[in-house]
Structure 1
Amino acid sequence: MNSLPATGPRIPSQLVLLLVLTFTTGIIDAVGYLGLDRVFIANMTGNVVILGMALAGGDDLPVAGPVLALGAFFTGALIGGRLTNAAPRDWARASTVAFGVTGSLATSLGIVAMIFPPRTDTAWGFTVTGLMAVAMGLQAAAARRIAVKDVTTVVVTSTLTGLAADSRLARGNDENWARRLLAVVLILAGAGVGAVLLRLTGDAGVGLGMLVAGLGSLAVTVVGHVRHV
């Protein structure tokens, strides 16, 4: 009797899906920072640092945008927590709802923003920033509940720390090095894509970046729901 060929370790689909969301987050943050007056829509650490420097008298640094993004992200994470905390630590119906809302909001805003590009320090610009930050907070809370180690979809500081601290160079065992490296590379690649879209399409780049990220999020939502719910 022929034995079955050996196969490598199975890659959890949740990991792949959250890595895709990490890539889309890079796009969102790039178009927000470059197109909406240096505001991070998903990376709240950056906003806290910018706000601190601005309040200390840093030249030409925004205050209103980072404050709005921080408050909106917190609100989105609060909503996401209430939605998903009662769900199991896996992809559940609540996860589909959370990621679906994030993707739908990014897609819808992207389409409108391509037609009516948001401007810095305008009501429409602040509206786009606030709504997208709510969406990113919602995504972060839902991803946190799924609890794929080292992949939060919105930040990579702790991921990069783990990659270094657990490496063989640090006398570690290289735990989860591949996923950690991928998370860093994908958010980097997403930011690069966002910057290129802005450079190639001008004012429409903010909307186009959100549209691309939103469609990616919706694809993740559909695949995740079909495979896990």
Structure 2
Amino acid sequence: MLMLVLTFSTGVVDAVGYLGLDRVFVGNMTGNVVLLGMGVVDGVAGEGGVTVGGEPLPVLRPALALVGYLVGAVIAGRVLRRAAPGWTTHTTALLGVVAGVLLVLSGALLFTGAHPADPLGAVITTGTAVVMGIQAAAARRLAVKDVTTVVVTSTLTGLAADSRLAGGDGRLWARRVGAVGLILLGALVGAALLLWHIAAALLLSVVATVVVAVIGHRTREVVAEREPVVRTEASLG
């Protein structure tokens, strides 16, 4: 369940990235790689480009997001390298960093009055992508099947390929449908909050991440008290 909440949060911040930060994904790196490829051709094509209406495709911010995401994943990977399997204090700390950075970035947008198109927007893009990389790496370590928190392509593949229609048992359908539905809901809510203020959407992600970190840490302590050796996927999902 906790990873599904983070999936919702990703939908929110990706709505912020695409609609408020010049058409860039801060969690979905597949989208950024595609945008980069198209953007390069668009730039080479010159006036008019390759897009309908001639509006140029972004290149800088998708590139910054891609690099930032990789940096975040590397940081989390190093932190978790020697940590025990399952939810640990390292997991809580990393999610605390995610929430803290998002809080600072939302504050920068809220109190400086800067427009996302300004240079600060590039900083917001990069910083948000870094923490999405941290979140994804932390979720990967928890290994909740088909819930990466940042993409749902593999989730959709599993949902269809393992369904009863495909001859499977469909036993994980609820979790998979939940992941797809929540990232969609997050994007919807994030887009709606942008009508008010871009910082509001980021603040919602802060709240969601803090809730996950607190509950996850507390659940870990309870499980450790009852079963000091074995922690199952079900207790974390």
Question: TM-score if structure 2 supplies the norm length?
Answer: 0.86
Say yes or no: does 1:48 pair with 2:18: no
Aligned residues: 210
CA RMSD of aligned residues (A): 1.2
Aligned counterparts of 2:113 and 2:74: Cα–Cα separation in 1: 29
| Residues 18-74 of structure 1: per-residue CA shift (max 9 Å, x gap) | 110100110000011000110101100110111111111244110000000000000
**2:216 aligned partner, one-letter code:** G
Say yes or no: does 1:110 pair with 2:106: yes
1:108 Cα offset (Å): 2.3
Identify the residue that residue 75 of structure 2 maps to in structure 1: 79
1:117 Cα offset (Å): 4.5
Identify the residue that residue 8 of structure 1 maps to in structure 2: none
Structure 2 CA distance for partners of 1:215 and 1:22, relative to 1, 3 Å: same
Aligned residues of 1:89 and 1:147 also touching (Cα < 8 A): no
Aligned residues of 2:109 and 2:115 also touching (Cα < 8 A): no
Structure 1 stretches lacking a partner, 5+ long: 1-15
| Residues 128-154 of structure 1: per-residue CA shift (max 9 Å, x gap) | 011111100001001100111111100
Identify the residue that residue 90 of structure 1 maps to in structure 2: 86
Say yes or no: does 1:139 pair with 2:135: yes
Structure 2 stretches lacking a partner, 5+ long: 43-49, 222-237
Which of these residues, 9, 20, 37, is aligned with residue 5 of structure 2? Answer: 20
Moved beyond 4 Å, runs of 4+:
none
Aligned counterparts of 1:171 and 1:32: Cα–Cα separation in 2: 39
Aligned counterparts of 1:107 and 1:120: Cα–Cα separation in 2: 16
Which of these residues, 124, 138, 152, is aligned with residue 128 of structure 1? Answer: 124
1:109 Cα offset (Å): 1.5
Say yes or no: does 1:209 pair with 2:193: no
1:89 Cα offset (Å): 2.1
Which of these residues, 102, 124, 144, is aligned with residue 148 of structure 1? Answer: 144
Say yes or no: does 1:197 pair with 2:182: no
Matched ranges for 1:208-227 at <5 A: 208-227=200-219
Identify the residue that residue 160 of structure 1 maps to in structure 2: 156
Aligned counterparts of 1:85 and 1:176: Cα–Cα separation in 2: 28
1:123 Cα offset (Å): 2.0
1:227 Cα offset (Å): 1.3
Question: TM-score if structure 1 supplies the norm length?
Answer: 0.88
Structure 2 CA distance for partners of 1:118 and 1:43, relative to 1, 3 Å: farther
**2:194 aligned partner, one-letter code:** L
Matched ranges for 1:47-66 at <5 A: 47-57=32-42, 58-59=50-51, 60-66=56-62
Aligned counterparts of 1:156 and 1:88: Cα–Cα separation in 2: 27
Query: Identity over aligned residues, as a percent?
Result: 51
Aligned counterparts of 1:36 and 1:182: Cα–Cα separation in 2: 27
Aligned residues of 1:163 and 1:180 also touching (Cα < 8 A): yes
Aligned counterparts of 1:92 and 1:118: Cα–Cα separation in 2: 37
Structure 2 CA distance for partners of 1:134 and 1:141, relative to 1, 3 Å: same
Identify the residue that residue 233 of structure 2 maps to in structure 1: none
Which of these residues, 16, 19, 22, is aligned with residue 37 of structure 1? Answer: 22
Aligned counterparts of 2:117 and 2:102: Cα–Cα separation in 1: 20
1:120 Cα offset (Å): 4.5
1:190 Cα offset (Å): 0.2
